[in-house]
Amino acid sequence: MRMTLNAIAPAVGVPFSGENVEVTGVTMDSRRVRPGDLFVAVPGARVDGHDFAKDAVAAGAVAVLASRPLPVSVPVLVVPDTVRALGALARAWRDATRARVVAVTGSAGKTTVKETLALVLSGQGKVGKNPGNFNNQLGLPLSMLALDGDEDFWVLEVGISQPQDMDELGAILAPDMALITNAGLAHAEALGGVDGVARHKARILAWLRPGGAGVWNMGCPELHAACVQAGCPSVTFAGSADVDADVRVLARHKTPAGFAFTVACAGDSVQLQATAACAHAENVAAVVAAAWYLGVPMTAVETGLLAVSPQAGRFVCRERGAWVLIDDTYNANPLSMTTAFAEARQMAGSRPLVAVLGEMRELGAHAPAAHRRLGELARAAQCPLVVYRGAHADAVAEGLGPGAALCVTDTPKEAWEAFAALGLPNAVLLFKGSRGSRMEEFLAYFEERLA
């Protein structure tokens, strides 16, 4: 970004009459300050950014955004709330650029869809995006302010966990397009079940710019019901042929390089090749729908799909001798678990599928039923063994039913011993759990022994 203090001050709602310094970056970490930066002093649970303002100035910060006056040698813009002011500044920067802004949100798949869509759009112009999942009230505005401002597209992920979050983030972003991947029991304790999650995700549509469009998953009835209330231009998508969506995947086939998809789009049937990182049909449908609405030729969509690289912890398949290990350890909720089991079971074919699972967190009163359903998924997938780490193991066992092989353990060594005792020479192993379950520890242990 490049903004002068004379432009920044009204954006954050304070008067300014000092030297009109140009700001070329924004940070809230005094250790990462570069000359020309605006340092935003954010009070945290353990440390207060105000205590590091002098360090930031010494490192080259040309101004400070703070909630109280500070004894530093550069201008200090004093606001009631630095986090809200940061968001207001990001909105001002967004309004000053010509980029078409696409917001991507949903209970599962939003980071993958964001990254894939950004690749697809990169063939049409310069693209900006947020790194990783920097998608909350701090990460989103910082990501926006890190962009140059001459991009043709901004593809920005939006994450929520509390009822007020989407309105706060939507006001910052004011997207031209909002893509909602799905709605499930993620952060359900705070958002109120699937209906509540769908309703809060759909709030992004209220913040569309005039003429903006919504893109949402027709295969999620709760989400569709919430989105249609917005009355905005729209395009719907689905990962299967039996859902009546504008864009839907009719078929998917494994190829030596990845996957081949047959996609129905605007009445036509399109053949698209993709890398192995594009395993989820629903994600591909979402990207195709958004790209089509934005006027991207299908040849360019395919070019983007063929450039997608695996993202660590997001359904990455690794061959270890005769075994296949699926690393889906980044996170989990009931919706993403359902998708992962469906994809893993199809990928395994006639081979045995072993599930190494961790607890799904932040489900509140929904947790027992959700973990019972997890056991039912494993039973339906005919898993010869389920390894489980975390709370609600009794609910998982209930879902699996009597006689099922369930190893409840916090120790990768015990999990390995349970697996090794089965003597499965060519199994497919799915590793998945909430971030706090740290299922990558189990994955690493298994990888060492299957190498």
Mean pLDDT within 82-96: 98
pLDDT, one tens digit per residue, over 364-411 is 888 999 999 999 999 999 999 999 999 999 999 999 999 999 999 999
- Does residue 442 register a pLDDT over 70? yes
**Cα(168)–Cα(137) distance, integer angstroms:** 8
pTM: 0.88
Q: Which of 191, 175, 115 is nearest to 362 (CA)?
A: 191
pLDDT, one tens digit per residue, over 128-171 is 999 978 999 999 999 999 999 999 999 999 999 899 999 999 99
pLDDT, one tens digit per residue, over 145-156 is 999 999 999 999
φ, ψ of residue 313 in degrees (nearest 5): 80, 5
Banded pLDDT at 10 (limits 50, 70, 90): very high
Structure tokens at 272: 């698209």
Residue 151, pLDDT score = 98
Lowest-pLDDT choice from 31-35, 124-128, 161-165, 176-180: 161-165
Mean pLDDT within 336-348: 92
- Length of the chain counted residue by residue: 451
DSSP letter string, 165-201: HHHHHHHHH--SEEEE----SSSHHHHTHHHHHHHHH
Q: Which of 293, 173, 163, 154 is nearest to 233 (CA)?
A: 293
On whether the CB atoms of residues 344 and 353 are closer than 8 A, the answer is yes
- Mean of all residue pLDDT scores within the chain: 95
Domains of the chain: 3-80 (3.40.1390.10), 97-305 (3.40.1190.10), 316-450 (3.90.190.20)
Tell me the percentage of the chain whose pLDDT exceeds 90. Answer: 87
Mean pLDDT within 256-278: 92
Residue 279, pLDDT score = 84
pLDDT, one tens digit per residue, over 51-70 is 999 999 999 999 999 999 99
pLDDT, one tens digit per residue, over 100-110 is 999 999 998 99
- What 3-state class would DSSP assign to 441? helix
DSSP letter string, 356-368: EEEPPPS-GGGHH
Q: Give, for 335, the enclosing helix (H) or strand (E).
A: helix 334-348
- Does residue 250 register a pLDDT over 70? yes
pLDDT, one tens digit per residue, over 198-232 is 999 999 999 999 999 999 999 999 999 999 999 99
Residue 187, pLDDT score = 66
DSSP letter string, 225-246: HHHGGG---EEEEESSTTS--S
Residue 381: beta bridge partners?
A: none
- Does residue 188 register a pLDDT over 70? no
Q: Which of 54, 60, 56 is nearest to 72 (CA)?
A: 54
Angle 66-69-72 from CA coordinates, rounded to 5°: 90
- What 3-state class would DSSP assign to 255? strand
Mean pLDDT within 239-250: 96
On whether the CB atoms of residues 306 and 275 are closer than 8 A, the answer is yes
